[in-house]
Structure 1
């Protein structure tokens, strides 16, 4: 027997009226209200389906759904011929991963069909035949594989998170046509795969973003199973996500977000957590199960502490997206749209827009201004034209963008360190940068499930740079499948050939080094890294000094016995499919088309039009090359498209030779600088003084800025500074006073004594807690 929603409501009302038991009636009404609210969150409200950008988006959704509909063919082991989910080796999780992923994708395709059926303007709206086909597909998947009597195979994620997420949407959209029996079957299936025990302890795969997703699975069973106990479990199970952590998964006091214990993950898992919690807050607000724990404010604070610092002109910086950078264009993607830093950034922005409703008035005003600013500046991939953004998310973001009462917030300036994940960001007028490092605390890189198998050196000091109006497609434009993985910008690496996935999966590969980090006064910053190569004998000391218009880069003690060449990559610019950006070296314009390579000894500067100026601070030879590189997303991700892609690159690097001993480099980059500005800086040889560039200490002084900054890898003295232990120090002198910023990147010293032999009036001590001035003269 199939029971309609009307019959359920009538039954509930009768029970309440006869027995006068108010709580059950209220609970039943609440479940219906929550289901209706979830449906509206999925479909969106307040938009005009006949106006752009919604009209085109809905038509595209209809076209995608029509293509999926035409190819759906229920058969044993598959719902679509290209998505076989029958597990050939049920006892081998690794080898059967693809089959469970195909199961998840099958449900995802049904969600696309159901959304096209439920949304207006798709050409399939309310199509009765399509509705019957979707339900047939659901019945097929339940009877064949996803049911309460089935043992899971392959990756746990698909069973506990991926499929339940799609089911929650499918059941919300189709509820009135499914009947009680089907709903009960789906609730039983999800409860089977996601029992109470899945959130019993905050460990393993039940932390951070994964925990938030598991809570959504439990919410599905609570709402559609009308189960108050599961609702309470879901509400309470999210509580461990909020407290700040000092190690492992979660948010850190410094704004870091880590998942999989060792991986900086603000841009992917962090985005998932943001979207999930924002949806939970919006869905449960005002209900019996509203999330009201005081810890929720810690998460609201994360919008500006953890997420916004890594968003720039609509993109989220790749250094905090883990293996997600390799996803690009998936094989068989019906949208044929690349997943990149802008798409990931837009997802975070959409999450913030959803969270606005649960924020204070002051927070909401700030967040709306940031959203409007990001949207206004994202010229590479306009936010409101993102085809991967749902209509509902688009409606929420567009309402903010179109609100004349919301002023657009400009990009901030300043330097932020995130020692909890060995990352930093730097913003100055006209450009932004980010640095990715690794240590015993943070992985070289993460790969898993066949993803990001050549990300080996992305944690070896990769320096990302973006311009305010140029370079915002540098890493978006098929960088990851085409760039030379041994020449990531900013890194020093051995050219030793590494295997795909070298070092192990899920962040297992971590260097046995602790001196990684730096210091900042909020405007300027210094960072350093004790480098130990991945599966290599390479060792080095590297430092970066972030200023208003430049990053000064020093390297020393570069030593290796791999029997291979070692290179320090000053930069590696993606010039696009046909870029011929002018390159000038010491006044001479160089050839503009690849292939081309030349070695320059004693050059003072190079300038790449539209990108940056490079000033060489030592006489060592540099190699500059243009090349066209071809690759595919499949090269870096087993699930990626095999379609060849070609991009042109200009690379500047120092060749240290085979098995160098104590080699080094010194240069500075001026992001976005003109040729004239680069030439002027090269001529001003005294602008930056390199105080030392050795394996023990690396430091600079820029007198015009009043900046002295030193990375002490051992105790000692330099440039008016003397320290009792290894540390990083930045001093800034100005007419208003002197600021001294000190950090212990090793995080092991109980006391560090710093003596500054310079002006001492009006001290400001960055990170004042635990700092004592013992004497001033």
Structure 2
């Protein structure tokens, strides 16, 4: 490790900025932090890794097994040259390592950088040329400033000049942050104050709320590539850039403002980290990255959390609780409190309880559907149609994507194709439906989606409580010759599958006739059917390859046993429906024998989907048109389509919460009538406008 750089620890021990400035000038201070961030933590391991790279490292600094002419858009071979140099530079600059100051190694490092400059490899993917390469060059050059020998001034100047690729001012969101980061490195290397200010301004400019443009939204979701859900993926890149810059410039004139720290902290703690179950993230928030191997397992998140704690020490306890949970040092339930949020800008719902997570992704003509691009996520055409991520332990969906049946994404209603269908539009495109939204009080809520995609129409809704999520579908139509199905789940098989009919004993798909209030149970999750239902269940071995879904991976066959359950609505359904209640987090199927459902499904038709929870005395209703629904003695009338929730407070007092799923109305008239005493109250609720269209508004009333 670079021992001379102690400034970050001084800062943490409470030294004032004046003490820091007395020891270092601003540039040296910040560059020292960058160097420390990239320095060796385990010398023996780095030395061993460097030794392995010497074999094919030629005198001119190139590696014999790298094709420097490659132009691939993903897994671009030439970038491996810089990655290997990073390992060797770490070994060379580490004072505790065996290669520190080795002149022969330094000469080859210099040759390797000269070779790179002369060859100037380029990818057909702009990201490598304008983001990845300049960033890596900047980090290498900064690290080498702390070696015992210095690069020739001419070579260093040439490489710094070569870093001038990409224009941060023309980019948004994570792309802006990525390019501005190598501006930042270049400013440090050249001690250019104007460039340093520009770089920091560009880096921190995205730490602000935007209305529908790429970046951090007013609901604290994150979108990139148009209005497309990317809480992870590009959202994670955004966080990485902010965490780096925030740590580097702390206690300097360039430090983040209190307002910027607050925005960053809220997105990271209250949104991004809430999409985790243990160290596994919700597949809904990765965008096209869902097709990348190991992407859902975030083994290094703990390091970013530790750095975030330095930027936002006020919330140190919460950062540490998150780190323990995400690092699996504590149980997935550790310090998890009930939380529910519908993100009206991104068409996404988070529902979290200590013993499970149940999240939903939908789409509308205001948001882009899941994208395919760079030959990634080739089959994700139904990922935006009500995909439900149900996690109890965490790894339920980890690396299952190569063997998924892609028209049976958990939670979705779609046509049943003979073979998986490729996405035929790239980089995301707006949905066709206007009706998509949800109501939320941060603990409970309801989400609704009027599906209109791939020759299927349906009205789908989810009603979220503590122990139950009620899943309803109605008015399902299709003129397609293919069958239409609704998938309950498709996840790794883990243990036996039980049901109220019989245990599943065959791998082959089996159709089960489940009586009213019958159930299906697998891996801590139960599916209860309020009415008689025909449910198809499979525990078969499924086969595929990573190459099939992402052409940057190999074609080797992968397989595994999968639990898959779905309802078949047949060909060309006219007004079909479904209803099932999910109970996640149960210890075993025996718990179902004691379960007495508090759920009353009041209506599930083309106009209204309504559910009442008896224990919570909580009503949730989706109105697809103006109309009336009577729920547990309460007559509710609305004059426009809406998603509504009525909470019982003390005595006769009620709280009415509403949201506009079309995001076009300014007011909603709601009438509540108590059937017992005839008392009626008429409300005219002013709905949120501007960037808050579609968010929840509440009013209290006494009946």
Residue 32 (str. 1) matches residue 5 (str. 2): no
Q: CA deviation at 1:749?
A: 0.8
The answer for the alignment partner of 2:670 in structure 1 is 754
Other structure's SS at 2:187 match: helix
Mapped to 1, the partners of 2:187 and 2:81 lie a distance apart of 24
Q: After TM superposition, give the deviation of residue 422 of structure 1 in Å.
A: 0.9
Residue 285 of structure 1: aligned partner: 250
Matched residue, 2:484 = 566
1:419 aligns with 2:373: no
- For the pair 1:257 / 2:222, whether they are aligned, the reply is yes
Output the TM-score relative to the length of structure 2.
0.87
Q: Following the alignment from structure 2 to structure 1, what is the Cα–Cα distance between the partners of residues 270 and 468? A: 25
1:475, 1:183 → 2: CA distance? 46
C-alpha distance in structure 2 between counterparts of 1:666 and 1:70, whole Å? 62
Kept in 2, the 8 Å contact 1:451–1:636? The answer is yes
The residue number in structure 2 matching 1:403 is none
Q: Which residue of 2 aligns with 1:200?
A: 169
How much has 1:625 moved relative to structure 2?
1.4
Give, in angstroms, the shift of residue 463 of structure 1. 0.7
Q: Which moved more, 1:265-274 or 1:27-36?
A: 27-36
Mapping of residues 626-665 of structure 1, within 5 Å = 626-665=539-578
User: Which residue of structure 2 lines up, in the alignment, with residue 588 of structure 1?
Assistant: 502
350-359 vs 566-575, which deviates more? 350-359
Superposition deviation, residue 611 in structure 1:
2.5
The structure 1 residue matched to 2:90, chosen from 112, 115, 129, is 115
Asked whether 1:181 is paired with 2:136, we answer no
Counterparts of 2:435 and 2:686, CA distance in 1: 19
Pair 1:171-2:123 in alignment: no
Match of 2:592 among 678, 681, 686: 678
Distance (Å, rounded) in 1 between the aligned partners of 2:67 and 2:296: 31
Q: 1 or 2, which has the higher helix percentage?
A: 1
Report the counterpart of residue 356 of structure 1 in structure 2.
Answer: 309
**1:251-650 correspondence runs (5 A):** 251-292=216-257, 294-328=259-293, 339-343=294-298, 346-359=299-312, 361-377=313-329, 410-467=335-392, 470=393, 472-476=394-398, 478-496=399-417, 501-508=422-429, 510-533=430-453, 536-575=454-493, 579=494, 581-591=495-505, 594-600=507-513, 602=515, 604-650=517-563
Q: Distance in 1 between matches of 2:90 and 2:487?
A: 47
Cα distance in 1 for residues equivalent to 2:378 and 2:331: 31
Aligned residues: 664
Say whether 1:245 aligns with 2:234. no
TM-score by length of 1: 0.79
The answer as to 2:54 corresponding to 1:69 is yes
Do the aligned residues in 2 keep the contact of 1:739 with 1:764 (CA within 8 Å)?
Answer: no
Secondary structure at the counterpart of residue 474 of structure 1? helix
Is the contact between residue 26 and residue 252 of structure 2 (CA under 8 Å) also seen in structure 1?
yes
| Alpha-carbon spacing, 1:118–1:774, altered in 2? closer, same or farther (3 Å) | closer
Deviation string 1:236-266 (CA, Å, 9 cap, x unpaired) is: 2234312211202111222211111132112
Query: Is the contact made by 2:400 and 2:491 (CA closer than 8 Å) also made in structure 1?
Result: no
Cα offset, 1:222, TM superposition: 0.8
Structure 1's 102 and 488: CA in aligned 2 closer, same or farther, altered over 3 A? same
Q: Is 1:137 the equivalent of 2:116? A: no
Change (3 A) 1:72 1:659: farther
Mapped to 1, the partners of 2:45 and 2:232 lie a distance apart of 27
Q: Are 1:199 and 1:214, in contact at CA under 8 Å, matched by a contact in 2? A: yes
1:379 and 1:133 map into 2 onto residues whose CA distance is: 48
Tell me the secondary structure at the aligned position of residue 433 of structure 1.
Answer: strand
CA contact (8 A) 2:606 2:624 kept: yes
**Secondary structure of the corresponding residue to residue 410 of structure 2:** coil
Contact 2:233–2:289 (CA under 8 A) maintained in structure 1 = yes
Q: Tell me if structure 1 keeps the 8 A contact 2:670–2:683.
A: no
Gaps of 5+ in 2: 1-20, 690-696
Select 1:742's aligned residue among 652, 658, 666: 658
Cα drift, residue 323 of structure 1: 1.2
Distance 1:718 1:99 in 2: 53
Is the aligned partner of 1:84 residue 2:67? yes
Cα 1:550–1:60 change in 2 (3 A) is farther
Paired residues of 1:554 and 1:698 also in contact (CA < 8 A): yes
CA distance in 1, matches of 2:58, 2:476: 59
Distance in structure 1 (CA, Å) of the matches to 2:258 and 2:228: 27
Q: 1:694 to 1:224 in 2, by over 3 A?
A: same
Structure-1 separation of matches of 2:75 and 2:542: 34
Query: How far apart are residue 527 of structure 1 and its match?
Result: 0.6
Using a 3 Å threshold, how does the CA distance of structure 1 residues 648 and 691 change in structure 2: closer, same or farther?
A: same
Native 8 Å contact 2:172 2:215 kept in 1? yes
SS at 1:745's partner residue? Answer: coil
Deviation at 1:29, TM superposition (A): 4.4
1:731 corresponds to = 646
For 2:248 and 2:295, locate their aligned partners in 1 and report how far apart those are by CA, in whole Å.
Answer: 29
More strand by share: 2
Indicate how the Cα distance of structure 1 residues 735 and 496 shifts in structure 2: closer, same or farther if over 3 A, else same.
Answer: same
Aligned-pair distance for 1:725? 0.5
Query: Could you tell me whether the CA contact under 8 Å between 2:74 and 2:552 is conserved in 1?
Result: no
| Cα offset, 1:505, TM superposition | 1.8
Q: Say if 2:610 is the partner of 1:699.
A: yes
CA distances 1:33-87 after superposition (whole Å, capped 9, x unpaired): 332221111226xx6x4xxxxxxxx655544444343234588xx9445542426
Q: Deviations over 1:399-425 (max 9, x none)?
A: xxxxxxxxx961121211112111111
**Once the two structures are superposed, what CA deviation does each residue of 1:724-771 show, in whole Å capped at 9, x if it has no partner?**
110101122254753322111111111111222349999999999796
Give the gaps of 5 or more residues in structure 1. 1-24, 50-57, 88-95, 147-151, 329-338, 381-407
Q: Distance in 2 between matches of 1:363 and 1:761?
A: 46
Contact 1:267/1:318 (<8 A) preserved = no
Q: 1:300 to 1:455 in 2, by over 3 A?
A: same
CA RMSD of aligned residues (A): 3.2
Q: What is the CA deviation profile of residues 240-299 of structure 1, one whole-angstrom value per residue up to 9, with x for unaligned ones? A: 312211202111222211111132112121111111111112212334544448545322
1:630: Cα distance to partner? 1.5
**Relative to 1, partners in 2 of residues 1:59 and 1:661: Cα closer, same or farther, differing over 3 Å?**
farther
How far the C-alpha of 1:542 sits from its partner, in A, is 0.3
Give 3-state SS (helix, strand or coil) of 1:450's partner: coil
1:566 to 1:129, Cα distance in 2 relative to 1, 3 A:
farther
Residues 1:715 and 2:633 aligned together: no
| C-alpha displacement of 1:131 | 3.5
Is residue 221–residue 267 contact of structure 2 (8 Å, CA) maintained in 1?
no
In 1, the alpha carbon distance for the partners of 2:95 and 2:591 equals: 55
